[in-house]
């Protein structure tokens, strides 16, 4: 009786093959659990991640160091300042510190502030903006600090020396330019949300107009509850040059703003893009399957036993049908900010850029914005600015990493909790740039600046 050339695999061989597949699965699960644990440790600051930990993610680190440096700077300014006689009736004070440059400054930095019950952020904001600037850098900035009260003495900073010592202009409401009684009515209106939206927009436009009059090339509008990186000036200056070049490279003649702050919370996986994610995932699985089948057929030594031992159908199915989908799921669970971060530099950000904590406008665009704000009269500055940009197809740049952090967890808009607060935090508390807190206080001054310098050189070479 002749023996068949292809005998069925014995039960012992079948058991060995199944054991090999189980072994592969166990090894994968062990490594997968290590990856999950690593993701838990690595992604706790990523608000787009399944492993995000709000208790640690919202914890200030670098911003606390900067606040301490700012307060020390303000204390020194107070101690060095001579007795300062407060103004009577003028809407601009510190007249001796008005613009005296032979040429216009490069930046007009405007900060509007109102008193907040139980919280003070204003002087820390000013301190972080001015601390560490050289004399040349300070001379390139015209700083306008706007006390947005009809009675400025209601603001605690107005009676402090540092305000008048450090500002180039302390801006107050000018009775000859504004309806003081109407503004006073907005301050005392019981309908806080409506009146707050009107007054907030009016104050922003009033300060923007004052900065426009300074004739600086760019207007930097900051809210009074931010902390600035110690190299914010250099980064912003470099970013403005790059923004101008990139705008020209796009064939455009103008752009609307450069964003200095955004929160990563809105930069996650977009549900409307799920077909793209599914398609890419299937491509990955299909590619792996083709590679494994091709490897088994062409590259392994021509031994049926060897092929069965290392790349059986069961093993290929395990790798493509179980292991790879689990890895893809972990990829998405780790968060978009972690897995597909925005590289350092200046990037177009037409969507998901929030909010108005720090925006730089070319001076030429200010009249357009003022006309738009005045035509709308009521609304949130950030939403109205985005609406204007969408209607007119404007270019909106954003600087990465952010050079500002929003620390005003007590909102000037009173209670801003939603009906179902996320993480039990208010809207103001969630306006947070998570990457900002990873800055190294010791290395930031030179290390981060060198990164921007390298990026700028690479950009110059590329064009």
- pLDDT of residue 308 exceeding 70, the answer is no
48-52, 155-159, 405-409, 422-426 — which is least confidently predicted? 422-426
Question: pLDDT class for 416, splitting at 50, 70, 90?
Answer: low
Write down the pTM of the prediction. Answer: 0.83
Instruction: Please give the average per-residue pLDDT across 443-452, as a whole number.
Output: 48
**pLDDT score, position 48:** 95
Identify the sign of the CA torsion 143, 149, 151, 153. Answer: negative
The share of the chain scoring above pLDDT 90, in percent, equals 66
Give 205-226 as a DSSP string. Answer: HHHHHHHHHHT-SEEEEE-TTE
Domain 73-263+341-462 superfamily per CATH: Spore Coat Polysaccharide Biosynthesis Protein SpsA; Chain A (3.90.550.10)
- pLDDT of residue 453 exceeding 70, the answer is no
Give 160-174 as a DSSP string. Answer: SHHHHHH-SEEE---
Instruction: Please give the average per-residue pLDDT across 36-64, as a whole number.
Output: 94
Report strand pairing: 218-222 vs 345-348.
unpaired
Contact 58, 129 (CB under 8 A): no
Q: Which two tokens stand for residue 112?
A: 């509007």
Share the mean pLDDT of the chain.
Answer: 85
**pLDDT score, position 101:** 46
**pLDDT score, position 16:** 57
- pLDDT of residue 177 exceeding 80, the answer is yes
**pLDDT score, position 195:** 61
How far from the centroid of its chain's Cα atoms is residue 17's Cα? 52
- Rounded Cα distance between 15 and 9, Å, is 10
**pLDDT score, position 309:** 56
Neighbour-count burial of 12, counting CB atoms closer than 10 A to its CB (0-12 exposed, 13-18 middle, 19+ buried): exposed
> How confident is the model over 322-361, as pLDDT tens digits?
999 999 999 999 999 999 999 999 999 998 888 999 999 9
**pLDDT score, position 160:** 93
- pLDDT of residue 235 exceeding 50, the answer is yes
- pLDDT of residue 265 exceeding 70, the answer is yes
> How confident is the model over 1-12, as pLDDT tens digits?
444 444 454 555
Domain residue ranges in the chain? 11-42+269-334, 73-263+341-462
- pLDDT of residue 98 exceeding 50, the answer is no
> How confident is the model over 185-208, as pLDDT tens digits?
988 875 555 667 899 999 999 999
**pLDDT score, position 397:** 97
How many CA atoms lie within 13 Å of 449's alpha carbon, on the beta-carbon side? 13
């Amino acid at each position: 009786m002749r023996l068949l050339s292809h005998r069925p695999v014995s039960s012992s061989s079948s058991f060995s093959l199944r054991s090999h597949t189980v072994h592969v699965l166990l090894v994968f699960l062990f490594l997968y659990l290590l990856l999950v644990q690593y993701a838990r440790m690595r992604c706790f600051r990523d608000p787009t991640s399944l492993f995000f930990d709000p208790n640690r993610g919202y914890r200030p680190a670098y911003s606390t160091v900067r606040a301490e440096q700012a307060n020390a700077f303000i204390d020194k300014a107070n101690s060095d300042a001579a007795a300062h006689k407060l103004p009577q009736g003028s809407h601009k004070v510190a007249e001796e510190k008005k613009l005296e440059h032979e040429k216009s400054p490069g930046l007009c930095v405007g900060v509007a502030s109102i008193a907040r019950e139980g919280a003070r952020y204003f002087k820390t904001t000013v301190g972080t903006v001015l601390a560490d600037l050289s004399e040349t850098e300070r001379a390139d900035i015209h700083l306008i600090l706007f006390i947005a009260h009809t009675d400025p003495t209601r603001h605690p900073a107005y009676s402090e020396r540092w305000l008048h010592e450090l500002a180039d202009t302390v801006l107050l409401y000018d009775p000859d330019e504004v309806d003081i009684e109407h503004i006073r009515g907005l301050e005392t209106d019981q309908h806080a949300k409506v009146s707050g939206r009107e007054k907030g927009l009016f104050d922003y436009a009033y300060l923007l107009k004052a900065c426009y009059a300074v004739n600086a090339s760019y207007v930097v509008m900051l809210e009074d509850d931010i902390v600035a990186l110690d190299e914010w000036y250099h980064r912003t200056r470099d970013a403005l040059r790059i923004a101008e070049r990139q705008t020209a490279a796009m064939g455009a003649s103008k752009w609307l703003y450069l964003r200095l702050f955004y929160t990563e919370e809105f930069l996650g996986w977009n549900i409307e893009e799920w077909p793209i994610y599914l398609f890419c995932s299937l491509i990955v699985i299909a590619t792996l399957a083709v590679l494994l089948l091709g490897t088994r057929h062409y590259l392994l030594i021509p031994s049926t036993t060897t092929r069965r031992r290392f790349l059986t159908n069961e093993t290929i199915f395990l790798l493509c049908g179980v292991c790879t989908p689990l890895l893809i799921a972990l990829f998405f669970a780790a968060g978009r900010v972690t897995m597909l971060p925005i590289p350092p530099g200046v990037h177009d950000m037409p969507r998901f850029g929030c909010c108005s904590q720090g925006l730089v406008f070319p001076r030429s665009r200010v009249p357009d914005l003022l006309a738009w704000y005045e035509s709308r009269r009521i609304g949130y500055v950030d939403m109205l600015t985005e609406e204007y940009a969408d209607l007119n197809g404007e270019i909106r740049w954003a600087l990465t990493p952010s050079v500002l952090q929003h620390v005003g967890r007590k909102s000037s808009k009173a209670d801003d909790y939603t009906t179902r607060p996320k993480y039990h935090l208010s809207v103001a508390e969630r306006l947070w740039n998570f990457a900002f807190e990873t800055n190294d206080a010791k290395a930031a001054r030179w290390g981060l600046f060198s990164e921007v310098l390298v990026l700028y050189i690479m950009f110059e070479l590329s064009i």
